[in-house]
């Protein structure tokens, strides 16, 4: 295994003589093996080694024991030891991201700090071929393009991260450590099947290997290598084309406006003349220029949007971006602070009412006690069963990913789809659409303006809740 890793480092040019390489060691088998392999190779590589451990504060005493294990390992081999820590659960809650993503953000930020402070030239992490296969499968299941299929790169130069074990399997790692009689730490969270990556690791990959392809890990790693080379080529082609075709700012009589950082544009006719693959890449580059990653669905929406004959229309995009059209150009702009539409959220007691300034109305929850179907039918599927609701409701504007299940429909619908022209009796302006109100009870949307309440929450007898909208002037 040592010679295999040595060849991979040479082939990928991951380490050059004189490099100061800090090995990121969690205490698990992969990172301990990486440290032991690089210790064997350090004279051949001409590298100076150190050890770094980041405590994510996720598993309490177990995390602290991991840190002590790595500290002792560094001391055993007389290596400089660097320790960092961060509260990943708190970061996850604050940023509203997964715990895994929060931990990676904190860890990578600390790695960058080590490099900036001159402690290291490169940080070596212990991603293996198994990690590569898991990452690619996860991205395929969530939806991805060729950029995502490229998986984990052997060397992220902008982050100074190298991955010397990316061509090595986890089985090889454990065999190597057992041969050395080197112990390691087991992370109990790696067995938690509530986490998608663990289900892929322990269920999906073994099933694919036993039932479909015994070499599935190598196959997926090969796919990543092909996709990465393709991406490198097309990124250069796209960058060259973008330099010529993407215009900064909005047109004016004297040329382009000075708002270069807030608007990018492309000629609609020129865009349409390009192959579809290049159209998509060019639009993605426009979003990247404004600091927002556009997903496939957003790019498809932009392509359809560019076909409209009405230049006054706008297209809502992620973050603060909006698509606009002139007779000649498709533009992507970042809304100014004054133009930005901010989310809102209010608590509504039952009974009670609350003023929603963003809508210019008051929303009221009234308690009704009605008898018989005739009384209930008067309200046209608009009554909620009080017994099924939380003590307090939340009034807010809808958000990306929200779903609602109106009565008399077969399945839940995305709120975004329900607000498309044709679903309502009116066509909404972008601002109206963004601020459209919904009411949530214990995490479920139970009311949405303009639609009947869900069958599962509809009142049939007893106490019912009627949601009313009242203008401020009334």
Going by DSSP bridges, is the β-strand pair 122-124/20-24 parallel, antiparallel, or unpaired?
Answer: parallel
Q: What is the sign, positive or negative, of the torsion defined by CA atoms of 421, 423, 426, 431?
A: negative
Terminal Cα distance for the chain, rounded: 78
Q: How far apart are CA 123 and CA 195, in angstroms?
A: 27
CA separation (Å) from 321 to 26, 97, 326, 328?
39, 21, 17, 20
The answer to whether the pTM exceeds 0.85 is: no
pLDDT digits (tens, 9 = 90+) for 75-112: 999 999 999 998 888 888 777 677 888 889 999 999 99
pLDDT at 460: 79
246-334, CATH topology level: 3.30.465
**345-471, superfamily in CATH?**
Phenylalanyl-trna Synthetase, Chain B, domain 3 (3.50.40.10)
Residue 383 has a CB neighbour count (10 Å cut-off) of 25
Contact 1, 176 (CB under 8 A): yes
Alpha helix segments (H runs only) across 96-128: 99-116
Query: What residues contact residue 209 under an 8 Å CB cut-off, 6+ apart?
Result: 216, 217
pLDDT at 260: 47
Reported as type and span, the H/E element at residue 466 is strand 462-471
Kindly report, as residue ranges, where domains of CATH 3.30.465.60 are found in the chain: 246-334
pLDDT at 35: 97
Among candidates 294, 299, 293, which has minimal Cα distance to 279?
A: 299
pLDDT digits (tens, 9 = 90+) for 447-466: 999 899 999 998 877 888 99
Our CA angle for 30, 208, 9, nearest 5°, is 35
pLDDT at 471: 76
Q: How far apart are CA 472 and CA 474, in angstroms?
A: 6
Q: Coil, strand or helix: which one is 336? A: coil
CA separation (Å) from 426 to 423, 433, 442?
8, 11, 30
CA separation (Å) from 190 to 128, 164, 185, 220?
15, 22, 12, 21
DSSP secondary structure letters along 343-361: P-EEEEESSEEEEETTTTE
Q: Coil, strand or helix: which one is 267? A: strand
Q: What is the sign, positive or negative, of the torsion defined by CA atoms of 287, 291, 294, 298?
A: negative
Kindly report, as residue ranges, where domains of CATH 3.40.50.620 are found in the chain: 2-231
Residue 141 has a CB neighbour count (10 Å cut-off) of 11
Q: Is the peptide bond before 41 cis (omega within 30 degrees of 0)?
A: no
Residue 96 has a CB neighbour count (10 Å cut-off) of 7
Among candidates 423, 437, 467, 428, which has minimal Cα distance to 360?
A: 437
Kindly report, as residue ranges, where domains of CATH 3.50.40.10 are found in the chain: 345-471
Q: Per residue of the chain (474 residues), what is the pLDDT tens digit?
A: 999 999 999 999 999 999 999 999 999 999 999 999 999 999 999 999 999 999 988 888 888 899 999 999 999 999 999 999 988 888 887 776 778 888 899 999 999 999 999 999 999 999 999 999 999 999 998 888 888 999 999 999 999 999 999 999 999 999 999 999 999 998 887 888 877 888 999 999 999 999 999 999 999 999 999 999 999 999 999 999 999 999 988 776 556 665 545 899 999 999 999 999 999 999 999 999 888 888 888 899 999 999 877 666 778 888 778 898 888 999 998 876 555 667 899 999 988 999 998 888 999 999 988 765 555 556 666 889 999 998 889 999 998 789 999 988 888 988 988 888 767 766 777 778 888 999 999 889 999 998 999 999 988 778 889 999 987 554
pLDDT at 107: 93
2-231, CATH topology level: Rossmann fold (3.40.50)
């Amino acid at each position: 295994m040592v010679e295999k890793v040595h060849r991979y480092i040479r082939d990928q040019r991951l380490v050059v003589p004189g490099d100061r390489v800090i090995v990121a060691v969690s205490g698990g088998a992969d990172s301990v093996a990486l440290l032991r392999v690089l210790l064997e190779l350090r004279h051949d590589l001409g590298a100076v080694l150190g050890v770094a451990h980041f405590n994510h504060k996720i598993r309490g005493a177990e995390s602290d024991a991991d840190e002590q294990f790595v500290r002792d390992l560094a001391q055993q081999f007389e290596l400089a030891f660097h320790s960092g820590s961060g509260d990943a659960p708190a970061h996850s809650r604050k940023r509203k991201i997964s715990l895994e993503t929060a931990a990676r953000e904190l860890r990578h930020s600390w790695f960058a700090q080590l490099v900036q402070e001159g402690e290291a030239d490169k940080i070596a992490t212990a991603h293996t071929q198994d990690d590569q296969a898991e990452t690619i499968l996860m991205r395929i299941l969530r939806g991805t393009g060729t950029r995502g299929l490229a998986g984990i790169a052997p060397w992220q130069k902008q982050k100074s991260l190298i991955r010397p074990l990316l061509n090595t399997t986890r089985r090889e790692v454990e065999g190597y450590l057992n041969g050395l009689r080197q112990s390691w730490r087991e992370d109990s969270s790696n067995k938690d099947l509530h986490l998608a990556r663990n289900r892929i690791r322990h269920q999906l990959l073994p099933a694919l290997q036993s039932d479909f392809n015994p070499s599935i890990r190598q196959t997926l790693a090969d796919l990543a290598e092909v996709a990465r080379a393709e991406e490198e080529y097309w990124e250069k082609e796209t960058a060259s084309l973008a330099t010529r075709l993407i215009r900064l700012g909005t047109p004016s009589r004297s040329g382009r406006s000075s708002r270069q950082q807030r608007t990018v544009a492309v000629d609609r006719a020129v865009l349409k003349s390009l192959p579809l693959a290049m159209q998509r890449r060019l639009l993605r580059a426009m979003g990247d220029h404004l600091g927002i990653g556009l997903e496939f669905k957003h790019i498809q929406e932009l392509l359809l949007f560019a076909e409209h004959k009405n230049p006054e229309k706008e297209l809502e995009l992620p973050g603060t971006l909006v698509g606009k059209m002139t007779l000649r150009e498709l533009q992507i702009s970042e809304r100014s602070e004054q133009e930005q539409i901010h989310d809102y959220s209010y608590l509504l007691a039952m009974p009670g009412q609350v003023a929603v300034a963003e809508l210019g109305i008051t929303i009221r929850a009234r308690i009704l006690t009605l008898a018989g179907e005739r009384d209930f039918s008067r309200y046209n599927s608009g009554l909620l069963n009080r017994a099924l609701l939380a003590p307090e409701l939340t009034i807010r504007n809808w958000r990306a990913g929200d779903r609602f299940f109106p009565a008399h429909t077969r399945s839940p619908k995305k709120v975004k789809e329900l607000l498309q022209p044709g679903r309502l009796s009116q066509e909404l302006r972008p601002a109206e659409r963004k601020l459209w109100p919904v009411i949530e009870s214990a995490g479920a949307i139970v009311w949405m303006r303009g639609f009947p309440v869900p069958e599962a929450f509809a009142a049939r007898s007893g106490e019912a809740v009627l949601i009313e909208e009242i203008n401020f002037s009334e």
